Structure formats: structure tokens, C-alpha cells
Structure 1
Amino acid sequence: MLKQALTQLEDNLSISKTHILTIASRFQEHMEQGLSGNISSLKMFPSYLQAPRGNESGTFLALDFGGSNARAAVVDLKGEGKFLQFNRVVRSLSNPDSGYDLRASDVTGEELFDFLAGIVHKALSVSSFSPVLNSSTSKPVSLGFAFSFPYHQRRIGEGFLLNWGKEIQTSGVVGKDVGQLLSAALRRLGIGNVVRPDAIINDTVAAFLTAAYQDPSVDIASIIGTGHNTCYLEQRAPGFTEPVIINTESGNFSVVPETAYDHSLDQQSNNPGEQLFEKKLSGKYLGELFRQIVLDFFRRGFLGNFAPPACWNHPYAVSSKDMTLILTGEGNHLFPLPEHERYALRRIALLLSKRSARLAAASLIGIIQHLDPHFTKPHTVAIDGSLYEGLPGYAGELTAALSEGLDSNASPVRVKLSAGGTLTGAAIGAALANQPKNL
């Protein structure tokens, strides 16, 4: 029975080459509909930024807010694609011991952004910028803010949150201008005249900037971690005379095969019907899909000797890190099972990981087809994120799916890990915001 159940699950989660090409084609269609201003599941938001040239220089503050943690640092851009990060500050948005959780619905936007402003203040006060805190004549320090949620940008330092993702529910932020919320928090902290938020950008755009600062061949960047999104350099964006980085908001792509488990997860989430692509492939949701599948197998009698821990009855009790332990065998002590049942858990984790990588590859193929229909140019895809970097076999599976889908056209496409992270990209965004505008 267990073997038959696993075979059926594999059939349900399988993404064949035909699936890859179909998804890529539909993704391309939704891209072009979004660019034209028509209804599309892909928002196709312009970032109002061109690709960096690699010679941007200066010292900037950077803030990154992406889900469970927020980070700030001072970033020194040295030109020639080189940079240094220092005075890095990392704070968790929740602490089970003290009982606070800034992601909860009873927390206000003011409380959340006061917390973020405090992290900026900490990075500022321990840095070479600290003298400006006590000076009324110093020039404000330019800040870049990487904001990792669906965000409608209206210019480089202005835009509003469309909806939370990653199960964050903080009130009073959706529909508000993120830059204004941060500026107000900085003023409440007494450093509004010291720190100037110049660039509020999506974290995927920040990853693009970091990668392209070091490698000018980068024209696509993707985050495959807790959440998922992809951006690329559009050569002919409506309303722009120069190439501009487009944030596709690919996590919201809707035309994807769905299982009963996907439907259940979506309906039980905080945003049913939204971020459907992200819910099938990102780290925030893979662990929950794994939990639901394993519990279903247990309830149907396929895992006779497996008694899930009591905590598994709570949504999101299982993470992609737990899946990593299962795949590597390091979590065997957590699951005292006969080998054939431990194999079942590994198989379920592997099937979910493989589907995620192949879905991500399909979306990348759709972007490449849009940029270069005849595959005449080389393309470099920079990828950042804990899932791509840390889940065993994930990077290789994604590369294999790209090669399978692109077939003979795969050779000019190169995939690389984006080194340097979104904090550096936020600083590059601030540097570009202080340059003369061509867009």
C-alpha cells in the first residue's frame, strides 16, 4: 500500500518536460499581458532602476526585511564590482521565550517599523557614521531598503504593499507607502534628519543589483528561499527609454498544475488564492506541504509504525530545514522508524523538492523566451535563497530542468549563485538613486 501511495504521489507531483514547456509558455504570455497593462497574474512592476555598471561607489546604510528576520548593515561600495559589509545587525521578528511576535495580526505597522528603525539606528550608532547622530550639519546618510513582499513601486523611493506573504499578518501596512512608514519611524526615533531612505526596492531586485554589480552578464535574478520571486532586465518596457529591471512578482503566477494538498494549503493560508506559485515551491510552504502529506499517509494507514510528534498537528510545524535533515539522513533520530518508512519520508521530501526546482526552471525558461525568442544571446541567471543554496540536490535539479526544457538552446544559459546578498543590493539601489536619472 505504501509503495502504491508513493507512486500515486509521484504521478501527482511530477512536472514532465511537456509540463515545463507549457508552464514556460503560459508564464511568457502572462509576462507580456502584464507589460501591456492587461489583466495578468504577473504584476510586472518596473523598479525604476537600470542595471548597475559596477563602478558605483560610496558608503551606504542598508536594511533588509524578508520574513522571520530583519537585517541592517553599513555597505561600502568600492567600484569594480567590489564591496564590504560591516556593522551587520540581525534581529528576529519573534521570540517564543518573551512571547512577542511582530508578524501577528494584533501588532500594528507602527510597532513593526519602529522595530526596523531601531535596527537601522543600531547599525548606524556602531559605525563610522556615528558622528552624524550628534551633528546638525552633516549630510543625511543614504539608506537602501530591500523589502521582500509584493510591492507596487511608483518610483525608486515610493511604493505600497499589495499584500503580505509568508503568513505575516501585521496590521495597518497593506496599501500603505512603505517608504513613508519607514521615514515616520525614523523620525519617531529622532534620526529622521540623519537617515534618508532613498531606495525602497524588492529583495529580488536587490539580488539582481548585487549580482550584476559583480557580473554585467546577469540579466535575470531569482530568489528561491523562504519566499520566491524573479526579476529581469527588460529592454523595451512601455514608458521607459532605457532598459529597466522588471519585478515580475512571479510568486503570484497562477497557471500551474495543482494537487489536493496544494489546494488545502492555499485555503488554510492567510491569503487564499494569492501567491499560488510561491506556495508550491518556496521554503515557507514546502515544509507545510510535507507535513500535510505525511499526516495524510499516516491517517490512511500507509505509515503504520510512524506516530507523528504532537507538534505536527500545528500548521507550519515542519520547515524546509527539517526536510533537509530528512534528505541527508541527519534527522533519523527524530523519526525512529523502520528503514522502509524512513525511505517514504525521504521520498516525499525529494518529490516536493524536485517539483519546486522544475517549476522554478519553467518560469525562468519563460523569461528567456520573452527576452530572446530565437535563443541567439547568452543569458546569466543569478539565484539567491536558502532553498536553492541549502536543500540537497536542489541546484542540480534546477539546472537539469533548464537543460531539459531548453534542449539544444541550453548552452548559452548560465546559472550562478548570487553572492553578497540583498543588503549589498539595497546599498547599490541607494547609490543608483543618487545618480542622475535616465529613466
Structure 2
Amino acid sequence: MTSHGKFRSSSGKGSRRSSVKKIVTDPKERQRLVENILKPFILEDSVYDKVCDVMLDNFNKGLGKDTNADARVKMFPTYVRSVPNGTEEGNFLALDLGGTNFRVLLINLNGQEVDMESKIYLIPQHIMLGTGVQLFDHIADCIYKFMKEHKLENKKLPLGFTFSFPCKQLGLAEAHLTTWTKGFKCEGVEGKDIVTLLHDAIKRKGDMHVECLAVINDTVGALMSCAHSDRQCGIGLILGTGTNACYIERLENVELWDADYEEPKQVIINTEWGALGDNGDLDFLITEYDKHVDKHSINAGKQIYEKMISGMYMGEIVRLVLEKLRKNGLLFNGKGSEELSTRGRFYTKYVSEIESDVDESDFKSTKQVFDELNLTDYTDQDCRIALHVCSLVSKRAAYLASAGIATLLNKMERKDVSVAVDGSLYRFHPHFHDLMVEKIQKLIKPGLRFKLMLSHDGSGKGAALVAAVANRLKEEALQKNSED
């Protein structure tokens, strides 16, 4: 048994033994009881098949004219109709706003060559809580400084804007903010078109020739970024703090489409699939731990599918399971710590770190996590159980995300599709990619092929590429009109 420093309890009155059932010492009995507690995370293939059926039904409701109003998965058309074809060239600006920092990027496209320069600017607290005019004037001021620094003052530049807040998109360059999140409360912006507010601020600033041609979210950015080098890319997936996906859909299936039906007869759909299950559709696989996480979240009853997958919640699910095992005398000799009993204190990065322990002879990463959590009474068997808990929770997350991707692949019915994936969960978890490949393979129709590829800087490069494609199509239309 290892001991690393003095035990700290949350009450300061000794250990938490009082809330612990009898310590189980018999190895076989211990294994049986542990497996019984973890059983809800081990799902049959038929359960994932059912998730695919539920997902498809929800996708179709979101796309349907008569069913969209009541649909939980909203399937928003993004108005992005084309992916890059490799002929895009020139200088483009991109803005990436989604938190207290925002980036201005200059992206030079020349065929397959992409050069990027960027600068991060801080948005002070008083501006986050001020007026919309102050916010967009600050953004315009930063764009101006960036352009001056790069000697671009007299250049006419198209701009792509990644705006990571909930919006109702009414056109490629028209997006109305529905509600502020992430600590922003700028008055006079909700319900307004953010492109108009940006253009008004650019006019007030003067001495700039910048036109915003497109507003996108991060899923579209991921897809576009990969599509620049891989023409087969048809799905964008985010697996990070949250989860969402977009894909290319045929216009004939988008009943709410109210724009033109000219070529290409397709549009990228932002599924907003995190809301799957908000109507009880996933109750057949919800565990007591999922219910607990949902109940104590800031949006109880919403984003049910997201809460079983994404990085914001995975660590908390693991913590709840570990605490249940401890209280049942199956872990840490029944002794916990203030950290382990604190909601949100078991970070999702711990899951990746623990699962990186390939050498079970020393459990180096797992023991480091235990030390950070001030756990002092553990054995190698405890390390093994913690690793098993993490692997089951993350495997379920990977398989659920796979069910969503398989549903999209089956719906698209393209023979070859590349899936662009971005987000810290996918990027840093040691097994997520392999688990997804394995499960998608089982869930897709025979004859379909896919590959998962890491998307690089979708919110920057992807935004510029959407603007570049929009610019190319605009110029092609002008040329066609002049020839006619």
C-alpha cells in the first residue's frame, strides 16, 4: 500500500469512513461488486443500433417543414454550399470570437498552399459586459491595428467570421445572436445581425476596406479546413468541451430551404446534435451518473447526448463512479479526499492521463492523478479499477459519437467520406480515434468507406476558406453575368 503525504478530509474531522459500507477484502467478491456497479456502461451492439435509429429519426424531424418546430435536433442550414476546389487564391481575413480572447488572422491562399499569421487580442471584462457598440468598436479597432501592422490598410479584403455563440443563421453572411453565453452580456446585440453590427463598426472606424462574406461555427470550420486538402471531406465533428457535427446534405431533403435551388444542390447542415435525448429519446441508456450530472448542470434537461460524450462532463461522470465504488468499500480502502468529493474536480484530462498508463507495473500517470486529488490510501488494484472506470466511460462516449457519425454516413450514402474532427477530447485522448474507427465500421452500411482526419485550425483557416469560396463564387457569377 502506498502513502503519499497526510490525508485531508473535506470536513476536517478525520476520514470519510463513516459514510462507507464495509470494506470488501475478498478479491472475487470485490471484482463481482465492481463489475455490477460498472455494468450500465457496457452496452450491447443492439443499443448502439438503436441510438442510430433514434438519431436518424431526429435528423429527419429537424429537416422536415412540419416537424422542425418541435424537433430537438434543429438541423440548421448554414448557407455554405460549396467546399474549396483548390483554385481559391489571395489574402483573406478571419475573425475567431468565442471567449475572452479573440483572434484576427491573415490567410494567404495559393492553390494548396496556405500561409497564416494571427494575433490574439484580449476583450476586457468591461467590454464583455458593456454595449454591443463598444464590443464591435473594439473588434474593429483590433482589425485596424492588425491590418496596419501587416501594411494592409489600402487593401480590399474579404473576411470570414467564426462566431461561437448561439445564432439563427438567415444567410451566409447574416446571423442573428439568440443569446449570449460564456460570460458575455453586451446589451443591444441579442436578436441583431452580427455582420451588420461588425460592418457598422468598420465604417465608424474608417480607413479599412473589409467585407464580411460569411459567418460560421466551429463544425463548419473543421469541415472546410480539411476539405481544402481532401475533396472527399463531407462531415465536420467537434469532440471537445462540447460536441456537435455538420455534414453536406442534398437540398431536396432540406424542407426549410428558402433560398435558390441553383447548383450545387446541396448545403452544409449544422445538426446541433448535442440536444439529442432532450425529449427522453435516450432514456433507455441513461445511467444514474448521467442523471446526476444533468441535474447539477446549468442547463438541466438539455444537451443530454452531449453530456454523455463531451469533455465538459466526462471527468465528472468518472468521479461519481469512483465515489460510489469508494463508498461501497471497493476502492481506496474506503478513504476519499476533499478533492474527490468536490463536483467538477476530477478533470477530463485525468481520464486521458490515466488511460495513457500502458505499463501496469508502475501506474505512473494514475498515481500522479491520485496525488493531485490528495488520495493517500491506494493499491495497484485501485489503480487498475480506476483505469477500468475511465476506459469504460470514454469508450461509451466514443461509441455514442460513432453512432452519430455512422448515422450521417448512412444518410449521405456517399461511397467515400472523410470526417474532419477537431477538439481537445479527440486530440488528446489516447484511444478515442481507434475506438471510433472500430465502432463506425460496425454501424455503417456495407460498401461505405470513411476516414477520420484531424482538422487543423478550423476556426481560423476554415473561416477564411468559407470567405474565399464565397468570394470565388461571387466573382464567377459576375463574370457569367458580364458574358451574358
Q: TM-score range by the shorter chain?
A: 0.7 to 0.9
* 8 Å contact kept, 1:218–1:381: yes
1:185-334 paired onto structure 2 within 5 Å: 190=205, 193-236=208-251, 237-238=254-255, 239=257, 240-241=260-261, 242-254=265-277, 255-256=281-282, 257-305=285-333, 310-329=338-357, 330-334=365-369
In structure 2, do the counterparts of structure 1 residues 279 and 436 end up closer, same or farther at CA, with 3 Å as the change threshold? same
The answer as to 2:160 corresponding to 1:160 is no
Whichever residue aligns with residue 106 of structure 2, its letter is V
In structure 2, do the counterparts of structure 1 residues 49 and 341 end up closer, same or farther at CA, with 3 Å as the change threshold? same
Secondary structure, in 3 states, of the residue corresponding to 2:304? coil
CA-CA distance at 1:420 after TM superposition: 4.5
In structure 2, do the counterparts of structure 1 residues 215 and 9 end up closer, same or farther at CA, with 3 Å as the change threshold? farther
- Which of 406, 419, 439 is equivalent to 2:456? 419
Cα deviation code 1:312-346 (max 9, x no counterpart): 55543333222222222424223153111122222
Deviates more, 1:287-296 or 1:386-395: 287-296
Q: Which residue of 1 aligns with 2:75?
A: 44
Alignment partners' CA distance in 1, 2:346 and 2:168: 31
Deviates more, 1:426-435 or 1:170-179: 170-179
Between the aligned residues of both structures, percent identity stands at: 30
In structure 2, do the counterparts of structure 1 residues 435 and 299 end up closer, same or farther at CA, with 3 Å as the change threshold? same
In structure 2, do the counterparts of structure 1 residues 36 and 53 end up closer, same or farther at CA, with 3 Å as the change threshold? same
CA-CA distance at 1:107 after TM superposition: 7.5
- Which of 397, 401, 410 is equivalent to 1:356? 397
Alignment partners' CA distance in 1, 2:139 and 2:442: 43
The answer as to 2:52 corresponding to 1:20 is no
The answer as to 2:417 corresponding to 1:379 is yes
Secondary structure, in 3 states, of the residue corresponding to 1:335? helix
Alignment partners' CA distance in 2, 1:419 and 1:45: 24
Count matched residues: 416
CA-CA distance at 1:93 after TM superposition: 7.5
Deviates more, 1:147-156 or 1:111-120: 111-120
Whichever residue aligns with residue 174 of structure 2, its letter is E
Q: CA RMSD in A?
A: 3.2
Cα deviation code 1:167-206 (max 9, x no counterpart): x343356545343454566677x36945433211011011
Q: Which residue of 2 aligns with 1:368?
A: 409
Alignment partners' CA distance in 2, 1:193 and 1:281: 43
Whichever residue aligns with residue 153 of structure 1, its letter is Q
Alignment partners' CA distance in 1, 2:33 and 2:132: 45
Alignment partners' CA distance in 2, 1:146 and 1:33: 27
In structure 2, do the counterparts of structure 1 residues 388 and 196 end up closer, same or farther at CA, with 3 Å as the change threshold? same
In structure 2, do the counterparts of structure 1 residues 160 and 27 end up closer, same or farther at CA, with 3 Å as the change threshold? same
Q: Which residue of 2 aligns with 1:71?
A: 103
* 8 Å contact kept, 2:218–2:458: no
Alignment partners' CA distance in 1, 2:156 and 2:299: 38
In structure 2, do the counterparts of structure 1 residues 318 and 54 end up closer, same or farther at CA, with 3 Å as the change threshold? farther
The answer as to 2:150 corresponding to 1:127 is yes
1:45-124 paired onto structure 2 within 5 Å: 45-50=76-81, 51-66=83-98, 70-79=102-111, 81-86=112-117, 88-90=118-120, 120=143, 123-124=146-147
TM-score by length of 1: 0.83
**What runs of 5+ residues in structure 2 fail to find an aligned partner?**
1-23, 25-29, 358-364, 372-377, 478-484
- For the pair shown, which has the larger CA radius of gyration, 1 or 2? 2
Alignment partners' CA distance in 2, 1:49 and 1:35: 16
- Which of 136, 145, 164 is equivalent to 1:148? 164
Alignment partners' CA distance in 2, 1:294 and 1:108: 45
Cα deviation code 1:383-431 (max 9, x no counterpart): 1222112101110000001112227445x22222223432110001112
* 8 Å contact kept, 1:152–1:161: yes
- Which of 370, 385, 408 is equivalent to 1:344? 385
In structure 2, do the counterparts of structure 1 residues 427 and 264 end up closer, same or farther at CA, with 3 Å as the change threshold? same
CA-CA distance at 1:252 after TM superposition: 1.6
Alignment partners' CA distance in 1, 2:318 and 2:207: 45
In structure 2, do the counterparts of structure 1 residues 367 and 341 end up closer, same or farther at CA, with 3 Å as the change threshold? same
CA-CA distance at 1:215 after TM superposition: 1.0
CA-CA distance at 1:207 after TM superposition: 0.9
Deviates more, 1:272-281 or 1:65-74: 65-74
Alignment partners' CA distance in 2, 1:394 and 1:102: 39
Alignment partners' CA distance in 1, 2:75 and 2:130: 30
* 8 Å contact kept, 1:15–1:358: no
Q: Which residue of 2 aligns with 1:171?
A: 185
